[in-house]
Amino acid sequence: MLKRVNKSPFTAVAGSEKPSVIACMNRNPALAWMFLWCLSAALMLGFLPRMAMAGSLSSYDLALADAQSKQEPEEDYYEDEMIEDVSDPLEPFNRAMFVFNDKLYFWVLKPVARVYNEILPEPLRLSFKNFFLNLLTPVRAVNCLLQGKPDAFATELGRFVINTTMGVYGFGDAASVCFDIRRKDEDLGQTLGVYGAGPGVYICWPVFGPSNIRDTIGMVGDGFLNPLYFWPQESAYRIGISGFKVVNGTSLELGEYESIKKAAIDPYVAVRDGYQQYRKNKIKE
């Protein structure tokens, strides 16, 4: 039984019009996106901004924070948790891809995200982020099961039901705000690590960024659980939606990568080691 936290009440959306809306959305994808945008803008004026703010810190945010913390010479950190050496035989290639991604960020992604920032207010952008996080529930839920975590699986299932209904198709994180039910970030890379698979060599992929052999395999496997993979339209739609997701996420993280570059003697090493340590900690959870 869910225990409700003492927060402001939220009203569930009536479902009397749902079948006709879904039918129209299936017939016309453009109309579907227009509907979602208008719905989000309207809800932004009400209760949705508070739900959007809940649980907005992504795994990439945490990885960046971990990388940045490694630039701070804290004595206790080095005594208690020494960073393992990262296997990086592909360093020349990885550094080239790091430079490519760096230029892609500063020359393309950041300017686009800044314009996007000026157009949409933060609560609405957080709502879109919540929508995509809710959409990826199958990835987290299945990996919770694979890791033998039935409670975490039930949590993800419960969050999906609550956020899809009370959170209005996942645009609001009602599960966190109303019931204090937090997201369980699990993926196939972590699942492989739980069963003893080592990270393998470090790889910096163009566009995708830092990874390793294990997490690359996991990323491919998780892709088959991503609902966007089964989008019934042409691949151009999936690419467009994925691009929108990246721009929206970047707009909420502007300045974080810049802080790492400014604090690090070698930004490539800072990101590489930060990613390695972050993934190791996630597997231990």
Give yes or no for residue 160 having a pLDDT over 50.
Answer: yes
- 179: confidence class by pLDDT, cuts 50, 70, 90: very high
* Tokens linked to 2: 């869910």
Give yes or no for residue 78 having a pLDDT over 80.
Answer: no
Per-residue pLDDT, 236: 77
Give yes or no for residue 17 having a pLDDT over 90.
Answer: no
- 63: confidence class by pLDDT, cuts 50, 70, 90: low
- CA–CA separation, 134 and 250 (whole Å): 18
Per-residue pLDDT, 110: 96
Per-residue pLDDT, 31: 45
Give Cα 115 to chain centroid, integer Å: 21
Q: What is the average pLDDT score of the chain?
A: 80
- CA–CA separation, 239 and 216 (whole Å): 19
- 229: confidence class by pLDDT, cuts 50, 70, 90: confident
> Between vectors from CA 146 to CA 59 and to CA 222, what angle results, nearest 5°?
50
Per-residue pLDDT, 278: 95
Q: What is the CA radius of gyration of the chain?
A: 20
